[in-house]
Structure 1
Amino acid sequence: MADWLAALDRRAALRAKAGLTRTLRPRAAGDPDVDLAGNDYLGLATHPEVVAAAGRALSGYGLGATGSRLVRGSTDVHHALEDDLADWLGVDRALVFSSGYLANLAAVRGLVQPRTLLVSDAHNHASLIDGCRISGAETVVTAHADVDAVAAALAAAPGRPAVVVTESVFSVDGDLAPLAALHAVARRHGALLLVDDAHGLGVTGPAGAGAVAAAGLAGAPDVVVTATLSKALGGAGGVVAGPAEFVRHLVETGRTFIFDTAPPPAVAAGVRAAVALARAADDLRAELADRARYAVRRLGAAGLPVSTPDAAVVSVTAPGPEAATAWAADCRSRGVAVGCFRPPSTPDHRSRLRLTLSTGVTRADFEHALEAIVECAPQSRTGGGPVSVRSEPGLRAPQSRTEVILP
């Protein structure tokens, strides 16, 4: 009877040997670490106006929504938040979910018809990948940010309904998808474009409306946008935004909407206050951009292989998973929290520290954190300084061929 538990132990031992053990670490309120790991880009999670709005709703509605949106959980706060998000994003309608993950599952599945082809970027987030798999549609995974590969995949399926699936700002390296070019290719082939703007919303675009708006695609009838409410807005939940007909379709058929308890009204109220603040936060967005440039200069000057970010995500390649884990732990011992990304969470099998910048961290603490990251950097085998990308054992180039996933 215990064989299945022993099998799990063996699998855990193999992960530990490969440096892939994952551990939950509790964080107390008021944690003093400099936070370069969370996604609170604009520092709104603890903003007094956001907390006050959530508190008022908590007093009025209680702790939870008490039901799904279609049964009992759809409050006036949820509807007001959706109206505000639709106005901000420049779309017909927006629909709020309890997480960005569930929003992506619903959006992908909702766009699939019989014979639909999904064309998905190799660096897409797990929620988009899982959405493609759960949909049952044929999925072609194309090389990262390769517009020609997308065009070839669409051209190979003439007459079939198709959806191009991409992030806007990719969550691993923080680079920006060529959204305008992808949209042009999709439109030329009669395909739709689905964009997960999780790391763009609040950080890029006019009034922080995101990378889709920055690309001039806001409100386009063949574009659907998803995003989380847990990053620049400092709350929790997700949103699907686009044509009114598609939102109606999700309300009536979206399983992760119909059968899921609604987000707590207090969270929705806090996020609504955060939307108002984010729309007026051009100064904070300018500060984020300046910090991203500073981080690249400082880390690059130290010889570390650092990404060139298009928003507020900066990644630094580590020699391997064990080195990345040790590097993150050393930073944590210096009071600096950083993200640690290792396979299978990385699409190109490279291990990284991921730094997510936040204006909620003081400039002095931010610069101090970068110094700690440099000082804790793993050294090469010969002790001659930080290692380069090419020295990582088993490093493979990013996806360079078209990969087909059949249902």
Structure 2
Amino acid sequence: MNAMSALTWMEEELASLEEASLKRSLRESYTVPGSPGRMFRGTGSRSLLNLSANDYLGLSQHPAIIEAMREALLEEGLGAGASRLVTGNRKAYAKLEEAIAEWQNCEAALVFGSGYMANAGVIRSVVGRGDVVFSDQLNHASIVDGILMSRAELVRYRHLDMEHLEAMLHKHRDKRRKLIVTDAVFSMDGDQARLHELKLLKHEYGAMLMVDEAHSGGIYGRHGEGLCHELGVKDEVDIHIGTFSKAFGAYGAYVCGSRTLIDYLVNKARPLIYSTAMPPALLAGIAQALALVQQDHWRRERLGSAVRFFRSSLKKSGFLIPTGDSAIVPIIIGDNETALRFSAALEENGIAAVAIRPPSVPEGTARIRFSLSAAHTDKELRDAAARIRQVGLQFGVLGR
């Protein structure tokens, strides 16, 4: 059997994905210098309003971040050259992790290469065979994959259903270790975890609690610490995860907690142990972004204003918008093909808003997921809402 015939099954599966309007492909996009809220799609295309990025605070092109990275690049070079436990643990790591721990008011912090690596690495480090993990049904794929790799038992509780979670906790009360894990703000719906109730259940059943602040870090809290801080439950969270790829406008992730937890992860977290350390210039840029997240309160205020304005505008246009205050605003379309056509029509009207389809969302809930930024102006959002309404009328999805 030659190599080509051995891969025939791939061609067949790709054809099935195409038929179901689920096939993905890569498209090039380009930044618009000086305009973090806009983008280009394809060579020679016109500028589009970017309503699909997670650059919530508009920091991705900040001059101070770029300058910090430039200086570090000239001093340190491009790559770290090895994993952190070999020779890649540059001084920028200690500086950044100390700053994160102080910001989060925790004993220690640890930086990972991405949010996926952090979730996968942490979960498989703290649980294993004989343990059980209780995961919200709509948690991010990196959480689910981390649980599967850990070989602990996965128990998915219905989304935000605390009665179901409690029933499952009671059923598995005698397991060796129990871990409750949740997103703070859910990436496809923009709703919030019930952190106060999770805190109570954690204590009642002797479980650990892990919260992923990917879409809430930098946005909630007095200095952008996240939803756990804003709701006053930070001290009840055993494992606090966050990313630099959303509100920070950069790349990477962090884990916060006790010194014991961080020391344990340094010895057990395989993505940390077996990955080359992050480029020093990137660490320097993240450190500058962290300073801006804490001091630029106006960015959170501007984002909050943009969110309220956009949600209100879509509701006035006739769309059924979920209640909430997050920067994630979904319009449920339903079938995959219509969602793709809706997205293409928006692009023709100057708006970049990608169709989100299964498996990223449950079957039958394909959607357009809008993400707002402090970089968006009221005029841009007002014009966008009007154009979205026109497309909604065209495809008959108003009121869904």
TM-score calculated relative to the size of structure 1: 0.90
| Cα 1:61/1:348, change in 2 over 3 Å | same
Partner of 2:43: none
Q: Tell me how far 1:349 sits from its aligned partner.
A: 3.9
1:13 pairs with 15, 18, 29, which one?
15
What is the CA–CA distance in structure 2 between the aligned matches of 1:46 and 1:219, rounded to whole Å?
34
How many residues align? The count is 384
Partner of 2:319: 304
- Residues 7-46 of structure 1: matches in 2 within 5 Å? 7-30=9-32, 31=40, 32-46=47-61
Tell whether the 8 Å contact from 1:163 to 1:193 is kept in structure 2 after alignment. Answer: yes
Query: 1:145-202 CA deviation, whole Å, 9 max, x = no partner?
Result: 1111111111112232201010000000110101111011111111010101000000
1:367 and 2:382 equivalent? yes
What is the CA–CA distance in structure 1 between the aligned matches of 2:329 and 2:366, rounded to whole Å?
13
Partner of 2:268: 253
Partner of 2:197: 181
Partner of 1:93: 108
Query: 1:283-321 CA deviation, whole Å, 9 max, x = no partner?
Result: 221222222222222212222232223321111111311
What is the CA–CA distance in structure 2 between the aligned matches of 1:348 and 1:175, rounded to whole Å?
19
Specify the code of the residue in structure 2 equivalent to 1:127.
S
What is the CA–CA distance in structure 2 between the aligned matches of 1:79 and 1:363, rounded to whole Å?
40
Tell whether the 8 Å contact from 1:58 to 1:265 is kept in structure 2 after alignment. Answer: yes
Q: RMSD over aligned Cα, in angstroms?
A: 1.6
- Stretches of structure 2 that go unaligned for 5 or more consecutive residues are 33-39, 41-46
Specify the code of the residue in structure 2 equivalent to 1:339.
V
- Residues 173-212 of structure 1: matches in 2 within 5 Å? 173-212=189-228
What is the CA–CA distance in structure 1 between the aligned matches of 2:29 and 2:201, rounded to whole Å?
45
1:314 pairs with 329, 348, 352, which one?
329
**SS of 2:254 mapped into structure 1:** strand
What is the CA–CA distance in structure 2 between the aligned matches of 1:121 and 1:333, rounded to whole Å?
37
Moved segments of 4+, more than 3 Å: none
Partner of 1:386: 397
What is the CA–CA distance in structure 2 between the aligned matches of 1:388 and 1:216, rounded to whole Å?
36
Q: Tell me how far 1:272 sits from its aligned partner.
A: 0.8
Q: Tell me how far 1:386 sits from its aligned partner.
A: 2.8
Specify the code of the residue in structure 2 equivalent to 1:145.
L
What is the CA–CA distance in structure 2 between the aligned matches of 1:348 and 1:207, rounded to whole Å?
38
Which range moves more in the overlay, 26-35 or 12-21? 26-35
Q: Tell me how far 1:205 sits from its aligned partner.
A: 1.5
Higher normalized contact order (CA 8 Å, seq sep 6+, divided by chain length) = 1
1:223 and 2:231 equivalent? no
What is the CA–CA distance in structure 1 between the aligned matches of 2:144 and 2:72, rounded to whole Å?
35
Partner of 2:67: 52
What is the CA–CA distance in structure 2 between the aligned matches of 1:307 and 1:249, rounded to whole Å?
40
Tell whether the 8 Å contact from 1:203 to 1:312 is kept in structure 2 after alignment. Answer: no
| Cα 1:121/1:274, change in 2 over 3 Å | same
Query: 1:15-35 CA deviation, whole Å, 9 max, x = no partner?
Result: 111111212111124233211
| Cα 1:156/1:112, change in 2 over 3 Å | same
Of all paired residues, the percent bearing the same amino acid is 34
What is the CA–CA distance in structure 1 between the aligned matches of 2:321 and 2:141, rounded to whole Å?
23
Partner of 2:6: 4
Q: Tell me how far 1:59 sits from its aligned partner.
A: 1.0
2:119 pairs with 104, 111, 118, which one?
104
- Residues 155-166 of structure 1: matches in 2 within 5 Å? 155-160=170-175, 161-166=177-182
Tell whether the 8 Å contact from 1:90 to 1:218 is kept in structure 2 after alignment. Answer: no
1:115 and 2:130 equivalent? yes
Query: 1:115-139 CA deviation, whole Å, 9 max, x = no partner?
Result: 2110000000000010111110011
What is the CA–CA distance in structure 1 between the aligned matches of 2:347 and 2:398, rounded to whole Å?
21
Tell whether the 8 Å contact from 2:139 to 2:183 is kept in structure 1 after alignment. Answer: yes
Tell whether the 8 Å contact from 2:83 to 2:273 is kept in structure 1 after alignment. Answer: yes
1:233 pairs with 241, 244, 248, which one?
248
Specify the code of the residue in structure 2 equivalent to 1:345.
S
Q: Tell me how far 1:378 sits from its aligned partner.
A: 5.9
Partner of 1:139: 154
Tell whether the 8 Å contact from 1:63 to 1:264 is kept in structure 2 after alignment. Answer: yes
**SS of 1:278 mapped into structure 2:** helix
Tell whether the 8 Å contact from 2:135 to 2:180 is kept in structure 1 after alignment. Answer: yes
Q: Tell me how far 1:347 sits from its aligned partner.
A: 3.4
Specify the code of the residue in structure 1 equivalent to 2:232.
G
**SS of 1:361 mapped into structure 2:** coil
Partner of 1:262: 277
Partner of 1:170: 186
Q: Tell me how far 1:113 sits from its aligned partner.
A: 4.8
Tell whether the 8 Å contact from 2:333 to 2:397 is kept in structure 1 after alignment. Answer: no
| Cα 1:371/1:63, change in 2 over 3 Å | farther
Q: Tell me how far 1:99 sits from its aligned partner.
A: 0.6
What is the CA–CA distance in structure 2 between the aligned matches of 1:77 and 1:282, rounded to whole Å?
25
| Cα 1:349/1:64, change in 2 over 3 Å | farther
**SS of 1:193 mapped into structure 2:** strand
What is the CA–CA distance in structure 2 between the aligned matches of 1:252 and 1:305, rounded to whole Å?
48
Tell whether the 8 Å contact from 1:319 to 1:387 is kept in structure 2 after alignment. Answer: no
Q: Tell me how far 1:114 sits from its aligned partner.
A: 4.9
Specify the code of the residue in structure 1 equivalent to 2:297.
D
